[in-house]
Amino acid sequence: MIKITKAQFLTSCPTLKECPKYDLPEVALVGRSNVGKSSFINAITNRKSLAKTSNTPGKTRLINLYNINDALIIADLPGYGYAKVSKTEQARWAKNLEEYILKRESLKFVIQFIDARHEVQNNDLQMREWLDYHNIPVVTVAAKVDAVSKNALPKIIGQFSQVLKTDVVGFSAKTGYGREKVIELLFQDTTP
């Protein structure tokens, strides 16, 4: 089992060109606003406030980079699907997200977070289709599984798998459900 012994916030950048280059593989986190990407970072690193969390969607507006075990970089990208910001702001976030995913040379794969409390949303599907179109490797995580019953969870995971045509890993930042599995996945394709 892989243990995360070092986790460090590195920097926040508005666009790809401001992002420093590190000599480490990277994994980018994508998902709807408020899906739990920051909570995911805190849960896997056992640090309560390494990544800033909020109950207000749309708080992650920059590309936030984290060093994990001096072995990989996690890039927390702005969430998509948040309606309470201007169309201009949404377009800017989308452009930065696309540019990062397509042009970041050290990017190994993307983790797409889907909220287990809801059906797969249209913008989740659009994001998956876009990632598939560009041949970006994706790991799919159903976040916030603690908010659904244990009996309903297999059905939800099954539905997500069917809709997105892929394996889906359940994860809860609150209970630690799926933590070891996602850590294993994080490091699977990133070892040099």
- pLDDT digit string (tens) for 92-111? 666 777 888 999 999 999 99
| Segment 130-155 mean pLDDT | 95
More confident: 93 or 156: 156
What's the confidence (pLDDT) of residue 69? 95
Amino acid sitting at position 186: L
The per-residue pLDDT of the chain, averaged, comes to: 88
How many other CB atoms sit within 10 Å of the CB of residue 165? 9
| CA distance linking residue 143 with residue 29, whole number of Å | 12
Confidence of residue 62 (pLDDT cuts 50, 70, 90): confident
Flag whether pLDDT at 177 surpasses 60.
Answer: yes
